[in-house]
């Protein structure tokens, strides 16, 4: 049976399970973009391996903190989930950088990482939440894709 022939309730159920993981992947891409910008500004290499080496500790921090807030339930929740994910991504990323010997955690870098990742990860949540709110308004107020329209 093709997906286009599947009942709409089956498609909606699949979307609710897949969408949070897609949004987590988008968060991961934002972290990789942050690492690429940092590598470019500091001339430390833009090869994929260079960028991934820079991003890896932050990606692991993102994954751990996202799992801690059970992101799959409400992947665009602003309070307190976004704060936990942002601070967890930065804090764990910095600790892992130091422990792995791939970099330091100077205060200036901690500040820049917190601001940049904070803006990127918060913006993703605000935009996806607004998109869901707009869609809910046009579909009669039903929550779609496992994202609550209003943060609690």
* pLDDT given for residue 151 in this prediction: 45
The segment with the largest mean pLDDT, out of 9-18, 67-76, 127-136, is 67-76
Nearest to 71 by CA among 21, 4, 11: 21
The CA radius of gyration of the chain, in Å to the nearest whole number, is 17
Q: State mean pLDDT over 103-123.
A: 95
Whole-angstrom distance, CA of residue 77 vs CA of residue 73: 9
**Total Cβ atoms within 10 A of residue 131:** 15
Extents of the domains making up the chain: 3-138
Structure token digits, residue 10: 């089956």
Contact 27/71 with Cβ under 8 angstroms?
A: no
Whole-angstrom distance, CA of residue 81 vs CA of residue 75: 8
- Mean per-residue pLDDT over the chain, rounded: 86
The segment with the largest mean pLDDT, out of 15-19, 40-44, 60-64, is 60-64
């Amino acid at each position: 049976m093709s997906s286009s022939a599947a009942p709409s309730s089956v498609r909606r159920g699949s979307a609710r399970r897949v969408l949070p993981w897609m949004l987590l992947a988008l968060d991961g891409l934002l972290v990789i973009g942050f690492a690429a910008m940092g590598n470019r500004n500091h001339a430390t290499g833009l090869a994929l391996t260079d960028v991934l080496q820079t991003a890896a500790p932050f990606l692991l921090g993102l994954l751990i903190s996202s799992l801690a807030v059970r992101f799959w339930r409400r992947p665009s929740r602003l309070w307190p989930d976004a704060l936990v994910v942002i601070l967890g991504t930065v804090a764990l990323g910095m600790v892992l950088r130091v422990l792995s010997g791939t970099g330091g955690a100077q205060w200036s870098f901690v500040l820049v990482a917190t601001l940049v990742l904070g803006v990127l990860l918060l913006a993703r949540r605000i935009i996806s939440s607004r998109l869901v709110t707009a869609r809910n308004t046009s579909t009669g107020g039903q929550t779609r894709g496992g994202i609550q329209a209003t943060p609690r």
